[in-house]
């Protein structure tokens, strides 16, 4: 039941099965209310089938759509704070797995203590991503539009210096290899190249932005290539419950880096790591960027010539638009990608000593994990209150969470 949810990325199958036994399932009819804003809380829900719409108090239009595999109510589950939003089943109803907070008790047996410790560790990265989305300043700002390819930023300059080769081809190849092996994940839309370097993952727009910035930092003339790629081809990367998002348009825009040598421009697409490319082109030999040759694998996949693309000096025309997904449900879209590439979201610093304690002093491990997730959830709860206008910004609201 939980094998296709966000929890399946954080927990191995044996632990997932044990966790599933601690909860119950509920079924909601289309439009039925799961909970109302400002109501009491104490349960966390995982969407197994169907979907949930979230509404601000007193409003009839949903502000967020959540699909299969996603989690809601996690703040109330940990903190027992009033619900910050109302939740109702979508037009086809939904099946949910529910975990009641009363499972957390000083009298828990060893097995429950162990599985909840693992649950709290697994939840923490998602909490930090949500916090960063609320407080990290990744919105549609003039700064992003004007300076998104910040190749003069010190961290870009230092990384570029390390990647410089004996000639232009070797340098381009080194940059291509570095960017290519960064995990491909849907996520933040408007990022500076230096922020992509910090986060260590991205999608075609953000990874290409970093690639072009590194090329320019190495004094190689570089630009952004754009093609139309069939939406149908993207389905293997996204859980089935989200395929309807791809069906909105027959094509999606795909971006990749191009660079110039002499009078010629060469595409060198670094978007997809090998594990992800295998999903797009299963069973076929892996193609690689080679010095002296253009590399445009997505065009090859749909039988187009390598030079059939548009070239742009920047991504301003892209960043002015909204992505095809909602930032509030994007992590559930990454379930397949995280399973084939491995979980990539960084764990908080408080997790490190817990792994030792789990072997030696399990109850102490749980206490550390519980204290850690309480701290994470409290910070997230305050950020949610600020975003909804229910509280003033805390003094540290300008800091960006490390992911």
CA-nearest of 128, 134, 26 to 345 is 128
Place of tokens 């509404």: 55
In a domain, 234, yes or no: yes
**Do 64 and 326 meet the contact criterion of CB atoms below 8 Å apart?**
yes
d(CA 136, CA 156): 20
Strands (E), 174-237: 222-230
Asked whether residue 106 falls in the same domain as residue 233, the answer is no
Asked whether residue 132 falls in the same domain as residue 153, the answer is no
In a domain, 331, yes or no: no
Question: Has residue 380 got a pLDDT over 90?
Answer: yes
Domain that holds residue 376: 7-136+342-387
Question: Has residue 325 got a pLDDT over 70?
Answer: no
DSSP state, residue 58: T
Pairing status of strand 64-66 against strand 43-55: antiparallel
Between 313 and 140, the higher pLDDT residue? 313
DSSP state, residue 318: H
- Tens digit of each residue's pLDDT (9 = 90 or more) over 216-244: 999 999 999 999 999 999 999 999 999 98
CA-nearest of 45, 41, 21, 44 to 115 is 21
- Tens digit of each residue's pLDDT (9 = 90 or more) over 96-152: 999 999 999 988 999 999 999 999 999 999 998 888 888 865 555 656 667 899 999
Question: Has residue 328 got a pLDDT over 90?
Answer: no
Asked whether residue 15 falls in the same domain as residue 122, the answer is yes
And the tokens for 321?
């638009």
In a domain, 233, yes or no: yes
DSSP state, residue 5: S
Phi-psi region of 86 (alpha: psi -120 to 50; beta: other; left: phi over 0): beta
pLDDT of residue 66: 92
Count CB atoms within 10 A of the CB of residue 362: 15
Asked whether residue 242 falls in the same domain as residue 311, the answer is yes
pLDDT of residue 147: 85
Rounded mean pLDDT, 178-183: 97
Phi, psi (degrees; rounded to nearest 5) at 338: -70, -30
11 contact partners, CB below 8 Å, separation of at least 6? 19, 118, 119, 122
Could you tell me the pLDDT band of residue 60, with boundaries at 50, 70 and 90? confident
Could you tell me the pLDDT band of residue 359, with boundaries at 50, 70 and 90? confident
Q: CA-based Rg of the chain, rounded to a whole angstrom? A: 22
d(CA 355, CA 358): 5
In a domain, 279, yes or no: yes
Count of structural domains within the chain: 2
And the tokens for 382?
């305050």
Q: Average model confidence (pLDDT) for the chain?
A: 89
CA-nearest of 24, 109, 70, 100 to 363 is 109
Asked whether residue 374 falls in the same domain as residue 282, the answer is no
**Do 104 and 42 meet the contact criterion of CB atoms below 8 Å apart?**
no
pLDDT of residue 121: 94
pLDDT of residue 344: 73
pLDDT of residue 141: 61
**Do 324 and 243 meet the contact criterion of CB atoms below 8 Å apart?**
no
In a domain, 403, yes or no: no
Please count the CA atoms within 13 angstroms of the CA of 47 that sit on its side-chain side.
28
Phi, psi (degrees; rounded to nearest 5) at 351: -75, -35
In a domain, 394, yes or no: no
d(CA 81, CA 381): 9
Helix (H) or strand (E) holding 354: helix 352-360
pLDDT of residue 397: 42
Asked whether residue 294 falls in the same domain as residue 383, the answer is no
Asked whether residue 181 falls in the same domain as residue 151, the answer is yes
Asked whether residue 108 falls in the same domain as residue 192, the answer is no
Asked whether residue 147 falls in the same domain as residue 209, the answer is yes
**What's the CATH code of the domain at 56?**
2.60.120.10
In the beta sheet, which residues pair with residue 224?
257, 312
- Tens digit of each residue's pLDDT (9 = 90 or more) over 255-286: 999 999 999 999 999 999 999 999 999 988 88
**b/e 34-66 (16+ beta carbons within 10 angstroms → b):** bbebeeebbbbbbbbbbbbbbbeeeeeebebbb
pLDDT of residue 395: 44
Rounded mean pLDDT, 321-341: 79
SS3 344: coil
pLDDT over 70 percentage in the chain = 92
First-last CA distance in the chain? 28
In a domain, 59, yes or no: yes
Asked whether residue 151 falls in the same domain as residue 126, the answer is no
CA 114 to chain CA centroid, Å, is: 27
Rounded mean pLDDT, 144-162: 91
In a domain, 396, yes or no: no
Asked whether residue 113 falls in the same domain as residue 171, the answer is no
> What is the per-residue DSSP string for 224-265?
EEEEEEEGGGGGGGS-GGGHHHHTTSSEEEEEEEEEEETTEE
Asked whether residue 269 falls in the same domain as residue 189, the answer is yes
pLDDT of residue 287: 86
d(CA 148, CA 366): 42
pLDDT of residue 398: 42
SS3 282: coil
**What's the CATH code of the domain at 215?**
3.10.620
């Amino acid at each position: 039941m939980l094998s296709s949810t966000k929890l399946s990325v954080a927990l191995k199958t044996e632990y997932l099965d044990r966790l599933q036994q601690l909860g119950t399932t509920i079924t909601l009819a289309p439009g039925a209310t799961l909970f109302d804003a400002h109501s009491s809380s104490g349960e966390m829900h995982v969407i197994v089938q169907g979907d949930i719409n979230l509404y601000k108090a007193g409003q009839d239009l949903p502000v967020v759509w959540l699909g299969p595999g996603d989690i809601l109510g996690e703040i109330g589950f940990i903190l027992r704070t009033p619900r910050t939003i109302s939740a109702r089943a979508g037009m086809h109803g939904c099946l949910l797995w529910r975990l009641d907070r009363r499972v957390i008790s000083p009298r828990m047996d060893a097995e429950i203590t162990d599985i909840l410790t693992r649950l709290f560790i697994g939840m923490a990265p998602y909490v930090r991503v949500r916090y960063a989305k609320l407080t990290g300043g990744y919105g549609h700002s003039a700064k992003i539009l004007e300076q998104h390819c910040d190749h003069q930023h010190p961290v870009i300059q230092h990384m570029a210096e390390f990647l410089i080769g004996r000639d232009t081809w070797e340098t381009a190849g080194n940059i291509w290899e570095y960017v290519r092996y960064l995990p491909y994940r849907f996520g933040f839309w408007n990022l500076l190249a230096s922020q992509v370097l910090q986060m260590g993952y991205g999608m075609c727009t953000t990874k290409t932005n970093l690639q072009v910035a590194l090329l320019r930092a190495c004094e190689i003339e570089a630009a952004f290539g754009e093609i139309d790629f069939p939406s149908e081809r993207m389905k293997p990367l996204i859980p089935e419950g989200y395929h309807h998002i791809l069906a909105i348009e027959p094509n999606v825009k795909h971006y990749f880096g191009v660079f110039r040598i002499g009078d010629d421009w060469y595409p060198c697409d670094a978007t997809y790591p090998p594990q992800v490319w295998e999903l797009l082109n299963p069973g076929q030999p892996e193609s690689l960027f080679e010095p002296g040759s253009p590399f445009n694998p997505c065009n090859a996949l749909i039988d187009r010539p390598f030079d059939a693309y548009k070239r742009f000096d920047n991504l301003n025309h892209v960043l002015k638009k909204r992505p095809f997904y909602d930032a509030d449900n994007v992590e559930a879209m990454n379930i397949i990608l995280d399973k084939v590439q491995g979980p990539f979201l960084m764990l908080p610093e408080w997790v490190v000593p817990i792994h030792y304690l789990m072997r030696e002093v399990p109850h102490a491990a749980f206490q550390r994990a519980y204290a850690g997730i309480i701290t994470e959830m409290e910070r997230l709860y305050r950020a949610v209150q600020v975003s909804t206008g229910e509280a003033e910004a805390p003094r540290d609201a300008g800091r960006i969470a490390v992911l």
